[in-house]
Chain A
Amino acid sequence: MDTKKRTVKTGFIEALPLAIAIAAYGLSYGVLATQANLSLASTIAMSLLVFSGSVQMVTVAMLASGATFTSVLFTSVLLNLRNLLYGAALAEGFAPAKKKWRWLLSFGVSDEPFVLGSARFQKHGPDPLYFGIVASTFYVAWIISSYIGAFIGGQIDPLKWGLDLAFPVTFVALLIPSLKEKPIIATALTAIIIATALEYLIPGNELTIIITGVLSPLVGLYLKRRSRDD
């Protein structure tokens, strides 16, 4: 019992700083979703059911720019492919839990829980409870902040407050801190070049995002392999 309590406490304390960061994203997501004309109910429902910052942000950005259903879905599948890796890497840490609990824990598999969970499993071995506490803390932070964001976003005049700037600026703030390794920087630069070229060639076409998302990582991959072969 005592170790369980300690795990709950540790999980919560370690999740808290990241939960605040997640709440900041959640707030932006809520505001952006109202910009994409999503109702308050569907904005919250998406946070409750999908619980994925990148999928939800990209979805509302694409909806706001008038993308079709199919291209939104395809892009989200592409974004979700990395969850396969996270899940595979975390599976051993979930192993002591019963199947039904593993299926519940799976819902929490995404970027931030993966980082905390895999660090914990490496140090202390499998610990499903820890992961559950971390993911639940993030879930609560994500839902409350989405609600507040959607509420604020619906109350104010978007152009006057520069809310149309919120999308691109939020994405820049998400992107810049991750540009650390050369292959990642090369992927981003390639994406900018391809997307710009595609927009100039065929203005306003919605394949831009998908084509760019599929092709640009190849350049990063090439650089990564070359640096390893040297």
Chain B
Amino acid sequence: MINNWILIGLLSVSTYLSRVIGVEFMSGREMNPTLRMYFNYVPIAIISALIVNQILTPADGEIVISFPILIGCLATAITIKIINMFLPSVVIGIAIGILTRYFL
């Protein structure tokens, strides 16, 4: 519990620092375009890794694919590609995941 509060404190300080340093100290300096692009790709990589992390779950020292999660994710991917709306796609993905769990 206390750990969570310390974590929140550290996260808020590090996040605020990254913002204010950008505004106050980096302005007027040209950042290397390669570095700029690298930072733009980091969130994509981390989000992808987190999805994989949720689909593959460790059980008894081995990795198991969770089919309800995998199929739910695929359903969301297809839905958001077609209708391009965040909340409905999430709801459809979860519904299909629940159905998969129920019937599998």
- A contacts, CB < 8 Å to B: 21, 24-25, 27-28, 38-39, 42, 45-46, 49-52, 54-55, 58-59, 61-63, 65, 69, 72-73, 75-88, 90-92, 94, 102-103, 105-110, 161-179, 183-184, 187-188, 190-192, 194-196, 199-200, 203-204, 208-209, 212-213, 215-218, 220-221, 224-225
Supposing A52-B15, A59-B11, A187-B41 touch, asked if A169 and B93 sit within 8 A by C-beta, the answer is yes
- List residues of chain B with CB within 8 A of the CB of A81: 18, 39, 42
Chain A residues, Cβ within 8 Å of B104:
none
Q: Are B101 and A178 in contact (CB under 8 A)?
A: no
Within the complex, which residue of B26, B81, B86 is in contact with A21, where a contact is CB–CB below 8 Å?
A: B86
Cβ-defined contact, B16 with A107, below 8 A: yes
Cα–Cα distance between A187 and B40 once the two chains are bound (Å): 11
Are A103 and B20 CB-contacts (below 8 A) given A58-B50, A75-B46, A217-B45?
yes
Contact indicator A162/B43 (Cβ below 8 Å): no
- Which interface class (under 10, 10 to 19, 20 to 34, 35 or more) fits B? 35 or more
Q: Which residue of B is nearest A102, CB measured?
A: B23
Chain A residue contacts of B34, Cβ below 8 A: 221, 225
Q: A177-B84, A216-B41 are in contact. Are A76 and B11 (CB under 8 A)?
A: yes
Contact present for B16 and A195 (CB under 8 Å): no
**A109: nearest chain-B partner, CB-CB:** B19
Beta-carbon contact of A200 and B63 below 8 Å: yes
Asked if A94 meets B23 with Cβ closer than 8 Å, knowing A85-B31, A172-B51, A208-B53, the reply is yes
Closest 5 CB pairs of A and B: A87-B22, A91-B27, A217-B41, A204-B58, A88-B26
Interface residues of B in 1-45 (CB under 8 A from A): 1, 3-12, 14-16, 18-24, 26-29, 31, 34, 36-45
Report whether over half of chain B's contact residues are helix, strand or loop; otherwise say mixed: helix
A24 to chain B, nearest CB (A): 5
User: Given that A28-B90, A106-B20 are known contacts, is A50 also in contact with B15, CB under 8 Å in the complex?
Assistant: yes
In the complex, what residues of B have CB within 8 A of residue A218's CB? 38
User: Is B22 touching A88 in the complex (CB atoms < 8 A)?
Assistant: yes
Residues of B within 8 A of A (CB): 1, 3-12, 14-16, 18-24, 26-29, 31, 34, 36-56, 58, 61-63, 68-69, 72-73, 76-77, 80-81, 84, 86-87, 89-90, 93-95, 97-98, 101
Question: Is the pair B63, A80 in contact by a Cβ cutoff of 8 Å?
Answer: no
**What are the residues of chain A within 8 A of B54 when measuring CB–CB?**
61, 65, 167-168, 171
CB distance from A61 to the nearest CB of B (A): 5
Of the candidates A50, A173, A178, the one having the most CB atoms from chain B within 10 angstroms of its own CB is A173
**Complex alpha-carbon distance, A62 and B51, angstroms:** 11
Within 8 Å CB of A176, what residues of B? 76-77, 80-81
Known interface pairs A75-B46, A165-B68, A203-B62; A50-B23 also in contact (CB < 8 Å): no
Question: Which of A105, A108, A195, A220 lies in contact with B49, CB distance below 8 A?
Answer: A195
* B64–chain A nearest beta-carbon distance, Å: 9
Whether B12 contacts A90 by the Cβ 8 Å rule is no
Which B-chain residue is minimally distant from A92 (CB atoms)?
B27
Chain B CB within 10 Å — which of A59, A63, A191 has the most?
A191
